[in-house]
Amino acid sequence: MIKFSLEMLWSERRKVYGLCTSMVMTLSICLLFLQFLMNPNLTQKITSIDIFQFSETFCISLFGLFILAVCVSLICYSCNYYMKLHAREIGMVKMAGFSQGKIVLYQLIQMITIMVVSVIITFCLSLVTTPIFLTIVYRYCHIHQNVFYFNTRLFSMIGILVVCILIILIGMQINYINNNSLSSLIKDKYITTQKEDHRVFIIPDYIYILGYFLGLYAMYVGEELDAGFAIASCIGAISAYGLFYYFIPHTLNEMVDSLNLKGEDTIVLGDLALFMQQSKLLIVFIMLAVILIPTFIFSSLHMKMLHIALHIGAVLINFVLCLSVVSRFDIDALEKKEHFKNLCKMGLTNKEVKKISYKEGNGFYIVLWIFAGIYILSIACTFLIRASIDLGLVGIVLLEFIVPYGMAEFIVYLKKRGQNYELHGN
């Protein structure tokens, strides 16, 4: 079993790169932020007073948990994509007469191998990333200590995290097998239709719009620019879930039904509505990052350790979220592959189908730039007017948001450009 599982993993190694990259990213980021919790030069013990007073050390700990949640979501997206790529392989193993237990063991062997390789790569990278990370933090905080800080507690915590991630991934794979029949595993499964609304109590779509603008209103009427300001503004992030899952898809579908659109535009709006629903959790994370991180950066000028941690976290977390969006587009391309090939069968050229795919990607990013941009600009303007913060700091925070998402949009464009939907490719 072990030999067969490893041979299959090696033969399909190109399909593992995305999942391995996500694991390395997650472990590397966690290893860096554990420095704030376990490096004696950067941290102090958290007490009950720190929790009640929302102290600097406690804020860093909460921020680390938020980063971990985002990293785990990236791994889940990558694992979802990995399972879809390997569905046929699992189906063939199932057809060969393997029992449920043996299939789980087959996947466990492969996942442990992937995890071991990811851990080795992470530790090798840490020999470079940790000194760079500590150099930046030490210089900003005027600390004169050795930048090569490693201890057994760091690696033991990473070991616990690895085990937890492994359990999550195996659970996802077992659930995927149980929820898909043998025929659907062997035959590629494509999702090109939106989920039906089975809610018992249906919230009107306009409520989500009101919630979004209520978050903006809370920024301008609040008297204090502190954590309470951010929490009140998070109403907008929660409302973004409803906007992307209900309001925008419903609006796009209504446009398709009521407006006299070209056939190409009808397909684009339908595909975009479906993608919006599938990306709802990502949008919540992005909106939370857009609201919380700039707010705490602007509010933490008097706390050097938290301030530099937030800047580093902003770069890393936006990078991780961008990778998650790219992974979501990879899954979308896989699920809609047959959909696009059917458009070619209907007479559209490969160039015309690619144009439809481009418009879907551009439409998503336009909506994202608008809804997230309004919030980050509103936060920046509020602090500029009421707290007289430095304009250069605002520019840095905006770049920490614009650069990663601009790069991700370009990567998605290049991936879509490389797709081929011509009939001879079947």
Whether residue 101 is predicted with pLDDT greater than 70 in this model: the reply is yes
Please give the pLDDT value at position 189.
53
Please give the pLDDT value at position 146.
81
- pLDDT band for 426, please (50, 70, 90 cuts): very low
Helix (H, G, I), strand (E, B) or coil at 148: coil
Last residue of a domain, one of 153, 173, 189: 189
If asked whether residues 169 and 234 sit together in one domain, one would say no
Cα–Cα dist 287/289, whole Å: 5
Q: Which helix (H) or strand (E) holds 4?
A: helix 2-11
If asked whether residues 200 and 167 sit together in one domain, one would say no
What's the total number of domains in the chain?
A: 2
pLDDT in tens, 47-79: 677 667 667 777 777 787 878 877 777 777 777
Whether residue 171 is predicted with pLDDT greater than 90 in this model: the reply is no
Please give the pLDDT value at position 93.
78
Whether residue 83 is predicted with pLDDT greater than 90 in this model: the reply is no
Whether residue 353 is predicted with pLDDT greater than 80 in this model: the reply is yes
Residue 413 has which token pair? 């464009």
If asked whether residues 69 and 201 sit together in one domain, one would say no
Last residue of a domain, one of 137, 165, 189: 189
Last residue of a domain, one of 171, 189, 207: 189
- In contact, 313 and 292? CB cutoff 8 Å: no
If asked whether residues 157 and 231 sit together in one domain, one would say no
CA distances to 40, 48, 49, 57, 75 from 53, rounded to whole Å, are 22, 9, 6, 11, 34
Q: What is the pTM of this model?
A: 0.79
- pLDDT band for 168, please (50, 70, 90 cuts): confident
Taking residues 22-28, report their average pLDDT.
84
If asked whether residues 177 and 198 sit together in one domain, one would say no
If asked whether residues 138 and 204 sit together in one domain, one would say no
Taking residues 115-130, report their average pLDDT.
89
If asked whether residues 369 and 238 sit together in one domain, one would say yes
Residue 129 has which token pair? 């990333």
If asked whether residues 267 and 366 sit together in one domain, one would say yes
Whether residue 116 is predicted with pLDDT greater than 50 in this model: the reply is yes
pLDDT in tens, 264-309: 888 888 888 888 877 777 787 888 888 778 888 888 888 888 888 8
Please give the pLDDT value at position 407.
92
Average per-residue pLDDT for the chain: 79
Residue 311 has which token pair? 């800047």
Please report the DSSP string for 340-383 in residue order.
HHHHHHTT--HHHHHHHHHHHHHHHHHHHHHHHHHHHHHHHHHH
Please give the pLDDT value at position 53.
65
Q: Which amino acid is at 300?
A: S
Cα–Cα dist 282/74, whole Å: 9
Query: What percentage of the chain has pLDDT greater than the value 90?
Result: 5
Residue 89 has which token pair? 């392989």
If asked whether residues 214 and 72 sit together in one domain, one would say no
If asked whether residues 179 and 201 sit together in one domain, one would say no
Residue 307 has which token pair? 């301030």
pLDDT in tens, 225-264: 555 566 666 777 777 777 777 888 888 878 877 777 777 8
If asked whether residues 151 and 202 sit together in one domain, one would say no
Please give the pLDDT value at position 410.
93
pLDDT in tens, 317-331: 888 888 888 888 887
Q: Which of 139-148, 220-229, 336-345 has the lowest mean pLDDT?
A: 220-229
Q: Which residue has the higher pLDDT, 360 or 184?
A: 360
Cα–Cα dist 26/122, whole Å: 9
If asked whether residues 205 and 331 sit together in one domain, one would say yes
Whether residue 198 is predicted with pLDDT greater than 70 in this model: the reply is no
CA distances to 19, 263, 416 from 348, rounded to whole Å, are 34, 11, 17
Residue 301 has which token pair? 């000028």
Please give the pLDDT value at position 121.
92
The whole domain housing 8 covers 1-189
Cα–Cα dist 35/353, whole Å: 48
Please give the pLDDT value at position 403.
92
